[in-house]
Chain A
Amino acid sequence: MPSLISPAERDYILKGIECNIRADGRQRPDYREVILETGVISQTSGSARVRLAGGTDVLVSVKADIGPVLVDPETGEGADKGQIICNVECAPSASQQFEGRGADELNNELTQMMTRFLSHNTTSLTSASSTTAPSSTTSHNSNGAGGINLSKLCIIPGEQCWILYVDALVLDYGGNLVDAVFMGTRAAIFDTRIPKTEVQDLGDGNFDFEVLDDAEDTEIVEGREDMPICVTLNKIGARHIVDASPLEELCTEAKLVVAVNRSGELCGLQKGQDGGIEPSLLLEMIQFGKTLGQTLIKQLDAKIKAEADADMVKRQNGQPVVKLGFFAQ
């Protein structure tokens, strides 16, 4: 990934976008080809790998573990909720800039964004991201911005719950990281199976639970359909584009990340870069992001469903489910 761009290149891209022709031949609202596969890491509870045709490669894994519930000391909330803990890491091999501590800031930004968008709660609203100046999140549905029903992740209220560790590893960088990470996360959560638990009442207000050892006898993560994905809109000149390539990102004056769920509800919004966006354009961009996001979700869901169905058929026939995994081209 180049860190600098020459004025000539910048001019070329700028003019091209003005004419609705981008350097790689796409139009402004065009996405690159997305390659997605779920269930690529067998040790995890759920995993997915997302690649954008230009090079961005993100591996997301979800690991379900058991831990104590996190109760807010002020409000007392959270006693009956599970948790989602996110982490994004850019592999040093993905880009020259990520070497050493180069990716720290980006890691931090992405991790916080994901935490806010997925496990929305009051505390994340007030905590401002270090790298973003204006930030705002809004929630529309009952399960919070992330869509996931955290109450279902609770095993013994006040004591034990499931904690979903969502780890995204950026293997290669080819622009538009945020969208890829969120697509991957959504697909990985879709793939996640949480073991069933049986809670036993031991009397005296004591409870214990057993984890069923069958890897097949599991539950899905409830509310996974309502999880948002992100559409990043880059304002270049007076126009905005989606799915920017690395060079296009360098030309970007202002960036707007729009998180949207399948019903078109706005789940989160984050503005980046130094440039400003006029109010009228901002509204247009949000509206555009919402519409595009919704279509994207529909397409992704159809693909994920098709894959799950194919796996299911194989299982029912007793055939082994073979994933392409890292052998896929």
Chain B
Amino acid sequence: MLRQKAFMKKTKSGKVLKVVKEHYLRDDIWCSVETCKVCEHTEPVLSAVPSINKAFRLPHYIIPDTNIFINQIDVMEHPLITNVIVLQTVLEEVKHLSLPIYQRVRDMIANKEKRFYVFSNEHHRGTFIEKLKDESPNDRNDRAIRVATKWYANHIKDLNPRVSVVMMTDDAGNRDKATADGLQAISVKWYIEALDNTEILDMMSSAKDLDDGQKTIYDEHLSSAHISNGIKSGKYLQGKLGISSHNYLEGSIYTKINGEEGTILIVGRSNLNRAVDGDIIAVELLPKSEWRTTPTGVVVDEEEEQAEEESLKAEQEAAAATAAKEDTIMAEPEAEKATAAVEAHKLDTPQPCGKVVGIIRRNWRQYCGFIDRKSVHTPAGSSAPVNVLFYAMESKIPKIKIRTRQAHSLLGKRIIVAIDSWPRTSRYPIGHFIRALGEAGDKSTETEVLLLEHDVPFHEFSKQVLSFLPVEGENWVVQPEHFAGREDFRSLNVCSIDPPGCTDIDDALHVVPLANGNYQVGVHIADVTHFVKPGNVMDQEAASRGTTVYLVDKRIDMLPSLLGTNLCSLRSNVERLAFSCIWELNKDAEIVNVRFTKSVIASKASLTYEEAQNRIDDASMQDDVTSGIRILNMLAKKLKQRRLDMGALTLASPEVRFSLERDTQDPVDVEMKELKETNALVEEFMLLANISVARKIYEKFPDSAMLRCHPQPPSANFEKLEKAVARFGIEIDHSTSKTLSDSLDSAVLPEEPYFNKLLRIMTTRCMMQALYFCSGAQIEQEFRHYGLATDIYTHFTSPIRRYSDVMVHRQLHAAIDSSLSYGDELTDKEKMNDLCGNLNHRNRMAQQAARSSVELFTHLFFKNKTEEEEGYVIRILKNAFIVLVPKYGIEGIVYASAKVSKADSGESATAQPQPILVYNPETDCLQSTETLAEGETPKTQVQLFQKVMVQISIDDDLKGGGEGGMRQKLKMELLKPWIEGISVHGIANKDDPEAHAVTSTKKRDEAPVPAQDKKRAGKRTKA
């Protein structure tokens, strides 16, 4: 039977199309019920005895409508929900409304255990319906669902054992109509409640119930047509919202303002207007008079007042008792946080400020976090549903209001929550519970949290991916046919030098003195691309993972471990495939010539840095490998010197490594990382190889080579640092990397040996992030790598743990072998650009995850410990300062205000904390409040680089006020110098109940960039 379907479409060019599709109806679409004898299906999906729910007499199949999937996808994903008939009508509507949800539905359908069956009702003779005159498409689809349900009900009514179908919809009108037709219909809520399972009850999104809806807090968002028109006309600006990590009420977008790139600040709750970090938003600039000249707390104060006002108002409203409570509680930490976080340095020109007028695309994801203990008001053990507030681990995310029946059992746990909506009437976004991860503070839970939070894919490799591994598995060996197109370097004295415990060895070296007095030096890199062919599932998986992630106690591999730690790893005394870079260097380590080739090597030794160093130092060792290392060492020193002369930077970061207890993997000791000469040896040759390869692939692929650049930092980044060191009579010239390097070298204070290192650490923070890019996307001048002082650079030497290197290997192979055929993945500029974007993102996330992991272990280390340590002030904030403790590589905030305890402040919980030290914008330091005569120095002051003594402990009672539940934080308290009201009396007085709030937050600054290029930073983090 042939039918027609027609709809109108407006094309991009403004034309209107009437699309008419032929629609054929069939009589061979089966019901897929196991016991059905009428239908001729071969692999029935729906089981003979489906779900049982006490709301219904018979076991039944569920037929949900579209909104059930759209609003309650998390419930549908719950293992309790099985035997569902997904109608084609519903599936198409879901696809039209939300692609991510459609994908999740598809995944469920693919999952055999879920028993989700897609019934093509639109193509079924018995269930297809024509749209009635004056019937809206929605009504038509609802009717189609009812008709299909009816068909099923009739079709299965005589089956044995007896079963039925249940239509699930939250639309009461639809339910009534279904009942009138003699069908069984139920809402999600009733259905779930009848299941008696609190967990799944919590997963139900109940946005409407949670919205108190009493007064409108936020302005309405503009329609998408308004926004796109406004953006076209330049009235609104578009950008991705980045929330400040110090203050979740302050965000910014980076966009073009009147043709110039710049940042627009968005300050305060009402200006942010329900935008969440990462959303693509449309912003309207505020009039110049409202731009911020000094980043003082003016706007924030206003916010505070508002909060206060609201809370007072709410208190008067007896009806909204809980809401009031929430608000009062909220107001206090908010106020504290907001003012504390405002960074205080005087701005000469007013900074553009804006407000959000609309949201172009939401970037909501699932958030890890915990429930605010203070928001739980029911007595322990109660399982009545309560509205509670949820704090995300990421401080940029606002609190989320959720409704839960398991509030008490979830306290102190890490849970995952999704945002459903953020109506204008609700102060906080409304979400629902998804699942609990485990106890807070537990190492494995916290590790999972940090992987989830940094978007690190850490699932096991799928069977499909593993199917692309060599079939021989561990017994794979180099076969004679592998020598085709490869040079045989098995006889060379190749060795590898890596950190102890390293199993994924991706580089090895050799050197041979030549007759003419020069040296042949070879860098051999694991030939990963021999095993990972472009475009297959394993390659796609690796490309999406982007990099191997190194945590303190584990490693998340980019490639299956058979490749990473075995077949590709250049282990000693086995033959391995390699990609070699062979130079002829003269005595001064200058390159005479270079060539690249695929090869077969057999490493003679895999050494640790220490072993290699010992070999160099031990004069009695005279074997070939050792003397090779000595020559390499000599050449490396010359290379390094030349690089430094060119202006390469030596920066530093306070990196530490943990000694872990063997069984529990708990940290027992922390030590600073030590660098040996041999670290530099490997590093120099890797740099040399990377630069040589970069030139080669750029020559072959001028438009699509994968390169890496490091932009010059803008001078604004250095302003504060320059001011601070000027005090010591030191000047920093950052005009080129060479001058910067020289000024760093000369910046030495004899009385403070750590000063130079500290300065290098702080310089590192002024740097830009190094990035992968596609050579066609930038002009040649921008290829420069600032930190390494080279005009071109790429990553070639670690293909086992970085996908960029895999691409570079492929491009290099294509460059040296003209007979090689390759796909457009090497030449397509757009694809390469997208890949670079992903790799940069994954890289950043991997770094942050690694850092969070270190932080986690630092916390574990300090658990039940209190240490007194020396530290340095590295940053001054308006009412706090940040202290770095070199011994542990940790940073913490010390507040310069004494917190007014709640008891004192009585009614107004939002009273301002009493400032003890105030910020002086002229000297960029904090000083005591007494009035000063001209030229007089204040009694006490805190300035950059100042050495202080701090007491470090774990403060697990910060937010939410519960024991052991929340974001555990390092607490840093000032011991020396003694400042009344801020300092504490060491360990003896620790239990003083009046202890002033001196706390610390996570360090969030960027890691040293050039450092991770030069060395193989992540790798060294491994214990």
Instruction: Give chain A's interface residues, CB within 8 Å of chain B.
Output: 42-45, 64-66, 160, 195, 200, 202-204, 206, 208, 210-216, 312, 315-320
Contact = CB atoms under 8 A, between A and B. Distances in A.
Given A213-B7, A318-B130, A66 B16 contact: yes
B223 interface: yes
B233 interface: yes
Nearest to A44: B18
B16 A195 contact: yes
Interface string B1-39: 001101111100011101010000000000000000000
25 contacts: A42-B4, A44-B18, A66-B15, A66-B16, A195-B8, A195-B16, A200-B226, A203-B226, A206-B229, A206-B233, A208-B225, A211-B8, A213-B7, A213-B8, A213-B9, A214-B8, A214-B136, A214-B137, A215-B6, A215-B18, A312-B133, A315-B130, A318-B131, A318-B132, A320-B3
A210 B14 CA distance: 10
Contacts of B979: none
Contacts of B297: none
Majority secondary structure of chain B interface residues (helix, strand, loop or mixed): mixed
Contact of B20 (A42, A203, A204): A42
A217 to B, nearest CB: 8
B137 A64 contact: no
A160 B7 CA distance: 21
A202 B226 contact: yes
A318 B135 CA distance: 10
A319 B134 CA distance: 14
Give the 7 A-B CB pairs with smallest separation, nearest first. Answer: A215-B6, A202-B229, A315-B133, A211-B10, A195-B8, A42-B20, A318-B130
A316 to B, nearest CB: 5
A256 to B, nearest CB: 39
Given A45-B18, A65-B15, 4 more contacts: A211-B9, A211-B10, A213-B8, A214-B8
Contacts, number: 69
Nearest to B2: A320
A6 B656 CA distance: 113
Interface in B125-147: 129-137
Nearest to A212: B8
B230 interface: yes
A214 B7 contact: yes
Residue with the greatest number of chain A CB neighbours at <10 A, chosen from B18, B129, B134: B18
Nearest to B13: A66
B15 A43 contact: no
B235 interface: yes
Contacts of B3: 320
Contacts of B136: 214
A180 B536 CA distance: 64
Given A42-B6, A320-B3, A202 B230 contact: yes
A116 B15 CA distance: 26
Contacts of A160: 14
Given A211-B8, A214-B7, A65 B16 contact: yes
Contacts of B132: 315-318
A204 B235 contact: yes
A203 B15 CA distance: 23
A212 B136 CA distance: 12
Given A42-B20, A195-B16, A215-B18, A210 B10 contact: yes
B133 A64 contact: no
Given A216-B133, A318-B129, A319-B130, A66 B14 contact: yes
Interface of B: 3-4, 6-10, 14-16, 18, 20, 129-137, 223, 225-226, 229-230, 233, 235
A215 B18 CA distance: 8
B225 A202 contact: yes
Contacts of B235: 204
Contacts of A43: 18, 20
Contacts of B223: 200
B16 A64 contact: yes
Residue with the greatest number of chain A CB neighbours at <10 A, chosen from B3, B8, B10: B8
Contacts of A64: 16
Residue with the greatest number of chain A CB neighbours at <10 A, chosen from B14, B15, B136: B14
A66 B13 CA distance: 10
A204 B284 CA distance: 15
B136 to A, nearest CB: 8
A215 to B, nearest CB: 4
Nearest to A198: B225
A200 B16 contact: no
Given A202-B226, A215-B18, A316 B133 contact: yes
A65 B131 CA distance: 24
B835 to A, nearest CB: 36
Contact of B131 (A200, A203, A216): A216
Contacts of A216: 131, 133-135
A160 B6 CA distance: 24
B600 to A, nearest CB: 63
A203 B18 CA distance: 30
A202 B229 CA distance: 7
Nearest to B9: A213
A215 B16 contact: no
B478 to A, nearest CB: 62
A316 B132 CA distance: 5
A326 to B, nearest CB: 15
A38 B137 CA distance: 25
Nearest to A215: B6
B645 to A, nearest CB: 60
Contacts of B9: 211, 213
A42 B14 CA distance: 21
A210 B225 CA distance: 9
Residue with the greatest number of chain B CB neighbours at <10 A, chosen from A42, A44, A64: A42
A42 B4 CA distance: 8
A149 B20 CA distance: 28
A200 B225 CA distance: 8
A83 to B, nearest CB: 15
A274 B180 CA distance: 74
Nearest to A204: B233
Contacts of A66: 10, 14-16
Contacts of B7: 213-215
A202 B6 CA distance: 30
Nearest to B228: A208
Contacts of A208: 225, 229
A122 to B, nearest CB: 29
Contacts of B129: 318
Contacts of B134: 216
B121 to A, nearest CB: 14
B659 to A, nearest CB: 64
B889 to A, nearest CB: 54
A319 B20 CA distance: 18
A294 to B, nearest CB: 31
Contacts of A204: 233, 235
Nearest to A43: B20
A211 B130 contact: no
B22 to A, nearest CB: 9
A211 B129 CA distance: 25
A317 B134 CA distance: 12
Contacts of B10: 66, 210-211
A65 B9 CA distance: 11
Nearest to B232: A206
B238 to A, nearest CB: 16
Contacts of B226: 200, 202-203
A305 B16 CA distance: 28
A208 B222 CA distance: 14
A213 B96 CA distance: 13
Contacts of A206: 229, 233
Nearest to B230: A202
A183 B693 CA distance: 78
Contacts of A317: 132
Contacts of B4: 42
B963 to A, nearest CB: 55
Contacts of B8: 195, 211-215
A163 to B, nearest CB: 10
